[in-house]
């Protein structure tokens, strides 16, 4: 079962530069594997980044547990005064699910990682 869950979700630190961490999430962010995103964020927070970008553009399914992980991340980012951006790509799955749950206003969501990075740069 663990191997099956691993095949359904991949989380990779895509880039870490200028005190920003970019986590690229691919697959299904659902009950069985959503805690893996929590763990990946915990691992990155140890380094004390200024911002976290979660690239969800390759997520095929975003269940209620995945949404809960994102809400916890938003709370933790707020408490630590970290920038937080989500990237959804062209598919609009993330925004649609956030809107359905009444959570869209809690997140900054961008189409590309470059847009998210640009939004976090000091003016």
Q: Domain for residue 114, yes or no?
A: yes
Question: How high does pLDDT run on average in the chain?
Answer: 87
CATH, residue 57: 3.30.750.24
pLDDT-derived band of residue 5, with 50, 70 and 90 as boundaries? very low
| pLDDT of res. 47 | 82
| Residue 5: DSSP 8-state | H
Q: Domain for residue 1, yes or no?
A: no
Alpha-carbon separation of residue 12 from 57, 97, 98, 104 (angstroms): 13, 22, 23, 24
Mean pLDDT to the nearest integer, 80-99? 90
Return all residues near 26 (Cβ < 8 A) that are at least 6 apart: 9, 10, 11, 12, 58, 59
Q: Which tens digits make up the pLDDT trace of 12-37?
A: 887 666 689 999 999 999 988 889 99
> Does position 55 have pLDDT exceeding 80, yes or no?
yes
| pLDDT of res. 18 | 67
Mean pLDDT to the nearest integer, 101-121? 92
Give 23's strand partners: 13, 54
> Does position 2 have pLDDT exceeding 50, yes or no?
no
Of 72, 117, 70, nearest to 93 (Cα)?
A: 70
| pLDDT of res. 7 | 61
Domain carrying residue 44:
8-120
Q: Domain for residue 99, yes or no?
A: yes
Number of domains in the chain: 1
Higher pLDDT, 51 or 7: 51
């Amino acid at each position: 079962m663990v191997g099956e869950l691993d095949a359904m979700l991949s989380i990779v630190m895509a880039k870490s530069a200028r005190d920003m961490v970019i986590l690229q999430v691919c697959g299904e962010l659902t009950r069985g594997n959503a805690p893996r995103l929590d763990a990946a964020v915990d691992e990155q927070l140890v380094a004390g980044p200024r911002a976290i970008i979660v690239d969800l553009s390759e997520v095929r399914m975003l269940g209620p547990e995945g949404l809960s992980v994102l809400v916890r991340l938003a709370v933790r980012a707020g408490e630590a005064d970290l920038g937080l951006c989500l990237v959804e790509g062209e598919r609009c799955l993330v925004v649609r699910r956030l809107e359905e749950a009444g959570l869209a206003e809690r997140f900054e969501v961008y189409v590309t990682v470059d847009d998210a990075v640009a939004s976090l740069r000091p003016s």
